[in-house]
Chains A and B, each alone.
Chain A
Amino acid sequence: QLQLQESGPGLVRPSETLSLTCSVSGGSMTSSSHYWGWIRQPPGKGLEWIGSVYYTGSTYYNQYLKSRVTIFVDTSNNHFSLKVNSVTAADTAVYYCVRRRMAYDKSGFYGGQNFDYWGQGTLVTVSS
């Protein structure tokens, strides 16, 4: 059974860099049918997609976060990571690492579809 586990600091100072790692166990990261990525959820609010990475290193980012976000993969150690620069209180959220299924949608476009595996989530608070 595939398992994802987030790790990283729970408190980050404003203007600094948020760094999280997702460890993947029970399966391969080199599947051609899946991306790996991050989703966050501010307290009491909805889900926000941050971005995704393929095992080759190709990335896709939320256009509204793209200037501050980097996602990279280390398949030899079965993990991938997230960095968010210049954080503010608005970046306070539970961060989830996820696996994203790639497939054709009903309109015939090939791309990321649903998220089928999630980590348990880790709360990151931005505060001085």
Chain B
Amino acid sequence: SYVLTQPPSASVAPGQTARITCGGNDIGSKSVHWYQQKPGQAPVLVVYDDSDRPSGIPERFSGSNSGNTATLTISRVEAGDEADYHCQVWDSSSDHVIFGGGTKLTVL
């Protein structure tokens, strides 16, 4: 079955840029979606279809996807961006939804 690999943790100083990766075999051929989850809350969609943002999500959140790696980029990081971030794809060959293991972003 298809596997998505995320680093368990990442850290960044306020005002800097955070990059969170999501690895998978030929993930560039799939549409990748990203969710932000703060403690005790439900996940919130922040990027869909590799690089589109839902309404209400700041432009600081962006995404890219090529080859075997998709990346969520958060520019000008704020304390409120501290959260777990999950990547997700739909594997058409198995008709399954796949989530990465999640990355805990710490704002120093």
Contact = CB atoms under 8 A, between A and B. Distances in A.
Given A60-B95, A118-B42, A105 B31 contact: yes
B102 interface: yes
Given A96-B42, A114-B33, A118-B43, A109 B99 contact: no
B88 interface: yes
Contacts, number: 68
Given A47-B102, A49-B97, A105 B90 contact: yes
B24 interface: no
Interface in B52-108: 54, 86, 88, 90, 92, 94-102
B12 interface: no
B96 A62 contact: yes
A111 B48 contact: no
Q: Most A CB atoms within 10 A — which of B42, B44, B50, B54?
A: B42
A103 B99 CA distance: 18
Interface string A43-67: 0001111000000000010110000
Interface in A79-128: 96, 101, 103, 105-107, 109, 111-116, 118-121
B92 A120 contact: no
B54 A112 contact: no
B42 A113 contact: no
Contacts of A46: 86, 99-102
Interface of B: 29-31, 33, 35, 41-45, 48-50, 54, 86, 88, 90, 92, 94-102
Given A106-B31, A114-B33, A120-B41, 19 more contacts: A46-B100, A47-B88, A48-B99, A49-B97, A62-B97, A63-B96, A96-B42, A105-B92, A106-B29, A107-B30, A109-B92, A111-B95, A113-B31, A113-B49, A113-B90, A115-B45, A118-B42, A119-B42, A121-B42
